[in-house]
């Protein structure tokens, strides 16, 4: 039974889907005005692992990840996030490009990073600019129901009409009043109200017609429009980085529930920030790492993936180059181990004494406990240790290796690690191996030697081991091993 820590209730809750066998997931995607950084990658890994584990359990998952290509505003420190410039527009002006060109460029970067990180693509990546009518419809409903009000072409959500406002973030209105740096807007009734629609100044590039003004949507309404459009009024799982909790997700809950009259999200899943060398990432500290920075230092995206899998999403991860080294060497260990198992699995014995079931149970127990990937990985590391000891004593058999490989394949559908050099021995080679084995059994050593040469010519090497066993591997790997 899968338990997930729900940021809304602050408890671990048993996962129960709305529709049996199906899961709907919404992921707050990138605002495409800058490169994807390590913190973003970490927060996109969380829904990827969760989605993979749902699929491992047999669920059919529909995952929607939006592309914010308008309306995410510049001043992050302003708690209500509804003043300042559009980030994409600002960049467009800086780089003398159109907003669409900026959005496309950074969306391509985002897609490439996700691909390299082996983050499975969402079923759909809706763009905010393509969903303006849906946003206008929800805003219209909110005004009709008196949750929102219009003044001078601007529309705001009145948070005093929604008593649950602040439940997700723990921000009460009183706290907000005292603590938050709220941006004044002359048309707001309450300083903590947030914008649903803003009238565009003349020079604004991205603007649309609406019943209230020629303007543009607030950031929060985008996600409500796109999530309900593709997943319905109530969603199983909604994820995001911890910086999305307030005001973004708080606002999403308020406006969506008031518009639909239904519960918006059953499980809120958030990923904590990542620090670099113990400090917050920031442009001024020059530690705003991208995937490219990691690769330039000679690490593979998969080593980064392994590093991210080795920490819990609810704890702050401290990224260091030392930790990257560790991840790189762990990845190599896994890689070598799988290659050894593949080689051993080609031997023809039928015995097996390796108990894989207990490992599988422990893997699932770890994942069921709020997606504890570090613990799930440690289960596999233990398996490797046990198998390597048996291997040294020559008591690990081909059948054991087959079982281990099948287990790895299954759990790696969740970890999502692409191993380099992982090979499947072609059937043609396996047939020749079988012939050679028969020849050897019949003590026809001339034929057996000829077949061995033939196999080598095709790029594979047979190594005879104890107990009349043998393993087969690609010649390049054999060479690699000889070199130590
Ligand atoms: Zn969002």
pLDDT tens, residue by residue, 338-386: 999 988 998 877 778 899 999 999 999 999 999 999 999 999 999 999 9
Q: What would the mean pLDDT of 220-246 be, rounded to a whole number? A: 96
For residue 480, what pLDDT band results from cuts at 50, 70 and 90? very low
Q: Are residues 220 and 85 in the same domain?
A: yes
How many angstroms separate the alpha carbon of residue 220 from the centre of ligand 1?
Answer: 6
For residue 81, what pLDDT band results from cuts at 50, 70 and 90? very low
Q: What would the mean pLDDT of 106-131 be, rounded to a whole number? A: 96
How many angstroms separate the alpha carbon of residue 185 from the centre of ligand 1?
Answer: 23
How many angstroms separate the alpha carbon of residue 306 from the centre of ligand 1?
Answer: 26
Predicted confidence at residue 74, as pLDDT, reads 47
Give the CATH number for residue 148. Answer: 3.40.50.620
Does residue 210 form part of some domain?
Answer: yes
Q: Are residues 393 and 438 in the same domain?
A: no
Range of lowest pLDDT (28-42, 121-135, 252-266, 275-289)? 275-289
How many angstroms separate the alpha carbon of residue 44 from the centre of ligand 1?
Answer: 13
How many angstroms separate the alpha carbon of residue 221 from the centre of ligand 1?
Answer: 8
Distance CA 411, CA 53 (A): 9
Predicted confidence at residue 236, as pLDDT, reads 98
How many angstroms separate the alpha carbon of residue 241 from the centre of ligand 1?
Answer: 10
Q: What would the mean pLDDT of 157-169 be, rounded to a whole number? A: 93
* Closest by CA position to 402, among listed 425, 418, 379: 425
Q: From 363, 387, 415, give the residue that closes a domain.
A: 415
How many angstroms separate the alpha carbon of residue 337 from the centre of ligand 1?
Answer: 41
Q: Is the confidence at residue 117, as pLDDT, over 50?
A: yes
Distance CA 121, CA 61 (A): 12
Q: Are residues 170 and 210 in the same domain?
A: yes
Percentage of the chain beyond pLDDT 90 is 65
How many angstroms separate the alpha carbon of residue 249 from the centre of ligand 1?
Answer: 7
For residue 78, what pLDDT band results from cuts at 50, 70 and 90? very low
Q: Are residues 202 and 243 in the same domain?
A: yes
Q: Are residues 247 and 165 in the same domain?
A: yes
Q: Are residues 359 and 262 in the same domain?
A: no
How many angstroms separate the alpha carbon of residue 31 from the centre of ligand 1?
Answer: 9
How many angstroms separate the alpha carbon of residue 175 from the centre of ligand 1?
Answer: 23
For residue 462, what pLDDT band results from cuts at 50, 70 and 90? confident
* Closest by CA position to 266, among listed 2, 452, 69: 2
Q: From 236, 271, 306, give the residue that closes a domain.
A: 271
For residue 40, what pLDDT band results from cuts at 50, 70 and 90? very high
Predicted confidence at residue 224, as pLDDT, reads 97
Predicted confidence at residue 468, as pLDDT, reads 58
Q: What angle do CA 289, 66, 64 make, to 5 degrees?
A: 110
For residue 465, what pLDDT band results from cuts at 50, 70 and 90? low
Q: Are residues 33 and 109 in the same domain?
A: yes
Q: Write the DSSP string, 375-443.
A: HHHHHHHHHHHHHHHHHHTT---HHHHHHHHHHHHHHHHHH-PPPTT--PPPHHHHHHHHHHHHHHHTT
Q: Are residues 384 and 456 in the same domain?
A: no
Handedness of CA 82, 88, 90, 91 (dihedral sign): positive
Q: From 271, 302, 329, give the residue that closes a domain.
A: 271
How many angstroms separate the alpha carbon of residue 260 from the centre of ligand 1?
Answer: 18
How many angstroms separate the alpha carbon of residue 80 from the centre of ligand 1?
Answer: 14
Distance CA 476, CA 459 (A): 8
Does residue 113 form part of some domain?
Answer: yes
Q: What would the mean pLDDT of 374-401 be, rounded to a whole number? A: 94
For residue 182, what pLDDT band results from cuts at 50, 70 and 90? low
Does residue 81 form part of some domain?
Answer: yes
Q: What would the mean pLDDT of 196-210 be, rounded to a whole number? A: 90
What's the mean per-residue pLDDT of the chain? Answer: 89
Q: Are residues 385 and 431 in the same domain?
A: no
What is the pTM assigned to this prediction? 0.86
Distance CA 448, CA 436 (A): 5
How many angstroms separate the alpha carbon of residue 468 from the centre of ligand 1?
Answer: 61
Q: Are β-strands 154-157 and 194-199 bridged in parallel, bridged antiparallel, or unpaired?
A: antiparallel
Predicted confidence at residue 287, as pLDDT, reads 85
Does residue 287 form part of some domain?
Answer: no
Predicted confidence at residue 376, as pLDDT, reads 98
How many angstroms separate the alpha carbon of residue 385 from the centre of ligand 1?
Answer: 43
Q: Are residues 350 and 382 in the same domain?
A: yes
How distant, in Å, are the alpha carbons of 384, 449, 463 from that of 446?
A: 38, 5, 17
How many angstroms separate the alpha carbon of residue 73 from the centre of ligand 1?
Answer: 13
Predicted confidence at residue 467, as pLDDT, reads 54
Does residue 277 form part of some domain?
Answer: no
Percentage of the chain beyond pLDDT 70 is 90
Q: Is the confidence at residue 290, as pLDDT, over 70?
A: yes
How many angstroms separate the alpha carbon of residue 195 from the centre of ligand 1?
Answer: 15
How many angstroms separate the alpha carbon of residue 248 from the centre of ligand 1?
Answer: 7
Q: Report the number of secondary-structure helices (H) and strands (E) in the chain.
A: 16, 15
Q: What would the mean pLDDT of 235-243 be, rounded to a whole number? A: 95
Identify the top-confidence range among 20-24, 69-73, 467-471. Answer: 20-24
Q: Is the confidence at residue 181, as pLDDT, over 70?
A: no
How many angstroms separate the alpha carbon of residue 239 from the centre of ligand 1?
Answer: 9
Q: Are residues 370 and 454 in the same domain?
A: no
| Residues spanned by the domain of 60 | 3-271
How many angstroms separate the alpha carbon of residue 371 from the centre of ligand 1?
Answer: 22
Does residue 282 form part of some domain?
Answer: no
Tell me which of 285 and 34 has the higher pLDDT.
34
Q: Are residues 384 and 443 in the same domain?
A: no
How many angstroms separate the alpha carbon of residue 211 from the centre of ligand 1?
Answer: 24
Predicted confidence at residue 481, as pLDDT, reads 39
Does residue 121 form part of some domain?
Answer: yes
Q: How many domains does the chain have?
A: 3
Contact call for residues 451 and 432 (beta carbons, < 8 A): yes
Tell me which of 318 and 425 has the higher pLDDT.
318
Does residue 311 form part of some domain?
Answer: yes
């Amino acid at each position: 039974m899968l338990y997930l820590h729900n940021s809304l209730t602050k408890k671990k809750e048993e996962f129960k889907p709305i529709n049996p066998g199906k899961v709907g997931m919404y992921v707050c995607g990138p605002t495409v005005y800058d490169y994807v950084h390590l913190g973003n990658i970490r927060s996109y890994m969380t829904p990827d692992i969760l989605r993979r584990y749902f699929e491992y359990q047999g669920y059919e998952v529909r995952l929607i990840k939006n592309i914010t290509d308008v309306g995410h505003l510049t001043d992050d420190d302003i708690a209500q996030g509804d003043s300042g410039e559009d980030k994409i527009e600002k960049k467009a002006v800086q780089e003398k490009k159109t907003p669409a060109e900026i959005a496309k460029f950074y969306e391509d970067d985002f897609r490439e990073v996700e691909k390299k990180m082996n983050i499975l693509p969402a079923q759909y990546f809706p763009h905010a600019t393509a969903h303006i009518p849906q946003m206008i419809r929800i805003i219209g409903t909110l005004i009709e129901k008196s949750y929102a009000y219009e003044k001078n072409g601007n529309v705001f959500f009145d948070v005093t009409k929604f008593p649950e406002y602040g439940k997700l973030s723990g921000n009460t209105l009183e706290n907000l009043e005292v603590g938050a740096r709220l941006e004044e807007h002359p048309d707001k009734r309450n300083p903590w109200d947030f914008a649903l629609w803003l009238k565009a100044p003349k020079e604004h590039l991205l603007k649309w017609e609406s019943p209230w003004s020629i303007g543009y949507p607030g950031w929060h309404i985008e996600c409500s429009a796109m999530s309900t459009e593709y997943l319905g009024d109530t969603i199983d799982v909604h994820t995001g980085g911890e910086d999305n909790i307030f005001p973004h997700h708080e606002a999403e809950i308020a406006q969506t529930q008031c518009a639909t009259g239904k519960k918006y999200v059953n499980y809120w899943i958030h990923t904590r920030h990542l620090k670099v060398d113990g400090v917050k990432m920031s442009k001024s500290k020059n530690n705003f790492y991208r995937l490219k920075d990691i690769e330039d230092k000679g690490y593979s995206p998969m080593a980064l993936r392994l590093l991210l899998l080795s920490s819990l999403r609810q704890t702050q991860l401290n990224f260091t180059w030392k930790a990257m080294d560790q991840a790189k060497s762990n990845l190599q260990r896994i890689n070598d181990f799988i290659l050894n198992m593949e080689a051993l699995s080609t031997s023809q014995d039928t015995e097996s004494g390796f108990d894989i079931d207990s490992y599988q149970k422990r893997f699932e127990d770890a994942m069921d406990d709020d997606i504890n990937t570090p613990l799930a990985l440690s289960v596999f590391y233990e398996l490797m240790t046990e198998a390597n000891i048996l291997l040294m004593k020559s008591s690990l058999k081909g059948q054991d290796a087959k079982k281990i490989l099948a287990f790895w394949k299954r759990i790696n559908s969740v970890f999502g690690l692409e191993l380099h050099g992982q090979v499947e021995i072609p059937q043609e080679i396996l047939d020749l191996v079988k012939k050679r084995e028969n020849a050897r059994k019949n003590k026809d050593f001339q034929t057996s030697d000829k077949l061995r040469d033939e196999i080598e010519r095709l790029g594979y090497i047979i190594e005879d081991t104890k107990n009349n066993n043998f393993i087969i591997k690609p010649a390049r790997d054999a060479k690699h091993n000889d070199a130590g």
